[in-house]
Amino acid sequence: MIHGSAPAGLSATEAAARLAADGPNELPHHGQRSRLRIIADVLKEPMLALLLGAGVIYMALGDATEALVLLGFACLSIIITVAQEARAERALDALRDLTSPRALVIRDGQHRRIPGREVVRGDLVLLGEGDRVPADGMLIEGQALSADESLLTGESVPVAKTVATGDAPTAMARPGGDGLPFLFSGSLVVAGSGIIRVLATGAGSEIGRIGRELQSIETEAPRLFRQTRRLVWWMALVGGAATLACILLYGLLRGDWLEAALAGIALGMSMLPEEFPVVLTVFMAMGALRMSRVNVLTRRAAAIETLGAATVLCTDKTGTLTENRMRIAQLRLPDGQQAEADAAMAGDDFARLAALGLLASAQRPVDPMEQAFHDLAQGTAALGALRPPGWALQRLYPFSPDLLAMTQIWGAEASGDWLAAAKGAPEAIGALCRLDDGAMAELKAAVDAMAGSGLRVLGVAQARWPAGTPLPDAMTGLDFSFAGLVGLADPLRASVPDAVRQCREAGIRVVMITGDYPQTARAIAAQAGIEGDRLLTGAELAAMDDAELARALPGVTVFARIMPEQKLRLVNALKAGGAVVAMTGDGVNDAPSLKAAHIGIAMGGRGTDVAREASSLVLLDDDFGSIVAAVRLGRRINDNLRKAMGFIVAVHIPIAGLALLPLLMGMPMLLGPIHIAFIEMIIDPVCSLAFEAETDEPNLMQRPPRAPDAPLFSRALLGWAVLQGVLTLAAIVGLALWLWQQGLPDTQVRTAAFIALVLGALGLVLINRSFNASLADALLRPNLPLAIVAGVVAAILAATQLIPPIARLFDFTALNMALLLPILGGSAAMMAALEAIKPTWRRSLTV
């Protein structure tokens, strides 16, 4: 500690020179893409190009309404992408806010309050309780100062700081651990006061290092969008080739190039899957809404589907598996008697032990462990007996690196003896009590037994001192007697064991990654039901190269004493092994691993802004059980999305077939651009959206996650979709050919084909509602959107038959019952055939 005259600090000139040389105390701003550049990059996306191309086609055809709808979707895509770009930058902005609070410094011998960004190396910064540390530094003066470094370490228990001595190291140590003379940017002073000399600012600080890592990590393109993009490109290429071939063949064979162009446009439109981006957007938006109902906020919509495919769930301990609320769980007396806290308070000796722990704690506690003593012993008779009315705190002996214990002296001037209450590390308390080797061995055995149950153990002692007599310079001058041990626990959340069990049944491996001690981590993992005997510590991990770590990972489910950068290494190693990784976190130290994981899950209650901005999902209630609910929803959404996509492929086959039929059969055009536009832009998307409301498949959480490289369209699903489309096309084509050969007018054939196509599309919706349920079950299961769809379809068909202007717009004519009956019979026969074939595909569809 510095003695003598008050330190003068830097001069204003020195500070200005260092600020100019090192730059401001904030994370560096890197060049960002301009809004125009972002829009230009978005326009290269095939999905958006498809929307714009379809819009241009509709505009060329004079259909301004449909063109504006498609162009509206295109503009919405651009807005969403620009917003996501800005969101990515907000993670760094949040870090900049943390690293730039206002600071009280000593400049030219005067106290000055300056913006945190103006703090420089060598500055002397004054800190008090509640202050945010503006830069990394060494404590050169201090009084009982402790800091909450959970932003950097993930551990919520504050750590005590000591004043640097003459032989203190000059290089910064890592955050965490009692007895260090270093404080870190972004941490919070929870008790005491002091002065630090700044050693590192901005990007050179510990939080700056995390910021550099965060900035260097590229967020992976979501698998769902990559797969959909490939599918759209392939279908667009096939559609383009078919359009060109249709125009050439039609023009060469019939000589009418205008009609050939219309036929080619109709065929191309029938094959372009413009519903895909619409359905994908709506499914993700509705999924985000459903997630919010189970207390999960969706920040990146694609993570919903990815979460349903997660194979590994990495979770921290404090606050996620546990309640992040310390409480006294067990008390143990010197003679070995022990009791749970609530029952123990009925006994005088146990109550006295709890009251001594309170008297060794701060009167207005910030430390969660000290709060636990107040919660248990405040207002008890034992406390009143130990600290009579009128007694006050006479002296505090704080923690020191040489003795991890603290003592508070209580008494009054007129009292006989004062009471000294001490608490701290059990071995430190044992030393204060001058226990012999045998007693110390018994103490260690008791501590190990309590720690093996997941408890954090403190020792408690007491001493007496004559009132008014000068107190010794150190607490070691007091004659202490051992009072007992206190075990504190951060209780496991009630929902965790069942949630872990559900994860295990769903084929998801739960891995705990914590900075806590191995014994505590192992005990909490056992309580949670996280299986696995092997535990890996941060020190063991640091000694492994990547190949050794890859071999060790499959057998480890608990990682203890893990440093922040090691979390990122573990996530990358799991990803390299082919796992789809979900990662939970709350602190600044978790941000890089949250961003690197396939699904980053931040805590909404206690999580930092940095963690939330780097994540894909945010747990609003910080409850691990909400993750399992989100996994269930993710799997359901993926199932329903596959059903919708399969339906879209299936229904495009009869649409394309009817557009191509006139060319092959010499028939008049059955479907023009307006018919196809109407079917694709109104009926198909609406029918597809009905799938979003479908309930869970029966085996949803009992089947393993999809393989990481599994395509959105498996061969089985694609085959099933093609089979449905071909059978539907065959039924409609058979009907149209029969009517044409009967010599019916073109308008009647066109009308019958259109009605059969619409009914066939509705039948395909019913067939695809479930991979497992029968058609009869599908008809009975409630689905309000589907009921609305059916009503809309019925109204549309009725309008084409009963309202002359609409009939003329579509070039339709009214059909009599003699024509309607074959249409209905053909649709029913098609559905019956598919229902008979469906059981042979069920097993492969649900894998």
Which residues are 485's β-sheet partners?
332, 459
Structure tokens at 544: 């492994």
Q: What is the spatial distance between Cα 817 and Cα 567, in angstroms, rounded to a whole number?
A: 70
Phi, psi values for residue 166, rounded to 5°: -60, -30
What single-letter DSSP state applies at residue 308? T
Q: Which one of 63, 123, 148, 316 is the catalytic residue? A: 316
Starting at the edge strand that comes first in sequence, how are the strands of the sheet with 296-298 ordered? 296-298, 617-619, 599-603, 581-585, 312-315, 509-513, 556-560, 534-537
Q: What is the spatial distance between Cα 197 and Cα 189, in angstroms, rounded to a whole number?
A: 15
- The single-letter code of the amino acid at 585 is G
Count of all residues that appear for the chain in the document: 847
Q: Cβ neighbours of residue 42 under 8 Å, at least 6 residues apart?
A: 48, 77, 78, 81, 82
Q: What is the spatial distance between Cα 214 and Cα 36, in angstroms, rounded to a whole number?
A: 25
Q: What is the spatial distance between Cα 224 and Cα 221, in angstroms, rounded to a whole number?
A: 9
Q: What is the spatial distance between Cα 330 and Cα 489, in angstroms, rounded to a whole number?
A: 9
Q: Cβ neighbours of residue 72 under 8 Å, at least 6 residues apart?
A: none
Phi, psi values for residue 126, rounded to 5°: -90, 135
Q: What is the spatial distance between Cα 146 and Cα 198, in angstroms, rounded to a whole number?
A: 17
Q: What is the spatial distance between Cα 536 and Cα 701, in angstroms, rounded to a whole number?
A: 29
Phi, psi values for residue 524, rounded to 5°: -65, -40
The half-sphere exposure of 553 on its side-chain side, counting CA atoms within 13 A, is 21
Q: Which helix (H) or strand (E) covers residue 398, if one does? A: none
Burial of 737 (0-12, 13-18, 19+ CB in 10 A): middle
Query: CA 16 from chain center: how many Å?
Result: 42
Q: What is the spatial distance between Cα 274 and Cα 677, in angstroms, rounded to a whole number?
A: 10
**What's the chain's Rg over C-alpha atoms?**
35
Q: Do residues 393 and 363 touch, judged by C-beta distance below 8 A?
A: yes
Q: Do residues 600 and 618 touch, judged by C-beta distance below 8 A?
A: no
- Rounded to 5°, angle at Cα 305 from 300 and 309: 125
Question: Measured between alpha carbons, how far apart are the two ends of the chain, in Å?
Answer: 67
- What 3-state class would DSSP assign to 299? coil
Structure tokens at 576: 């390299």
* Residue 316 a catalytic site member: yes
Structure tokens at 651: 């229904």
Listed residue (460, 475, 459) closest to 394, CA to CA: 475
The catalytic residues are 316
